Amino acid sequence: MALISIIGTGNMGQAIASVVTRGGNELELFGETDAATPVRGDIVVLAVPYPAVDQVLAQRPGQFDGRIVVDITNPLNFETFDSLTVPADSSAAALLAAKLPAARVLKAFNTTFAGTLAAGAVGPLTTTVLIAGDDADAKAALAGVVTAGGLKAIDAGSLRRARELEAIGFLQITLAAGEKISWTGGFGIVA
């Protein structure tokens, strides 16, 4: 059994928490008033909006060293819905990994809406979590938590693929915001 720390109690934090507990893994959930309580998890999920990530890092110096840290963000420009706020040849996950050289950073959960994580399904398909990262053991550990929670997991490759995962997340959000798809739908994966 793994201990999963989730920082952030919004829709995504709660949905990922439901996956963790469905799978029988241990959960600690941190809200905004818990900044003074150190994380202890084998896996730490940063379930905060992209602009809040740096504040979490500043509040918790050194706490992520040696841990698996999961970036779930979609760094959209929410004023225009027309671009990301990270460099086109990089990703939010790559920027985070550069700030946390002693952590094993993964990108995951950014291509699945909260509703499909909580429900476990995208229409007729079981929800699939795409996981990108440079550490195979870290990816396997997170995949274990995901599959124990009743979802599917796919290793999407190295952390460089976070760029593509963030493009998918970006497009999916624009489609839902434009009412082309529902917030309970989106991209499903047929293996």
Alpha-carbon distances of 100 from 14, 21, 39, 49, 157, rounded to whole Å: 25, 27, 15, 18, 20
Q: List Cβ neighbours of 154 (8 Å cut-off, separation of 6 or more).
A: 128, 129, 130, 131, 189, 191
> Is 26 or 185 the residue whose CB approaches a second copy more closely?
185
Question: What's the closest the beta carbon of residue 82 comes to a second copy, in angstroms?
Answer: 6
Residues 92-131 that bind a second copy (CB under 8 A): 122-125, 130
Taking the C-alpha atoms of residue 6 and residue 56, their distance in angstroms, rounded to an integer, is 12
> Is 29 or 114 the residue whose CB approaches a second copy more closely?
114
Q: What angle do CA 162, 166, 172 make, to 5 degrees?
A: 145
Q: Is 22 in the site for a second copy (CB under 8 A)?
A: no
The interface region with a second copy, picked from 24-32, 40-48, 99-107, 167-175 by CB under 8 A, is 167-175
Question: What's the closest the beta carbon of residue 190 comes to a second copy, in angstroms?
Answer: 4
Q: List Cβ neighbours of 53 (8 Å cut-off, separation of 6 or more).
A: 46, 71, 73, 92, 96
Question: What's the closest the beta carbon of residue 114 comes to a second copy, in angstroms?
Answer: 15
Question: What's the closest the beta carbon of residue 84 comes to a second copy, in angstroms?
Answer: 9
Q: Which of 61, 89, 101, 136 binds a second copy (CB under 8 A)?
A: 89
Report which residue type is found at 52: A
Return residues touching a second copy (CB under 8 A). Answer: 82-83, 87-89, 122-125, 130, 154-158, 160-161, 163-165, 167-168, 170-171, 174-175, 178, 180-182, 185-191
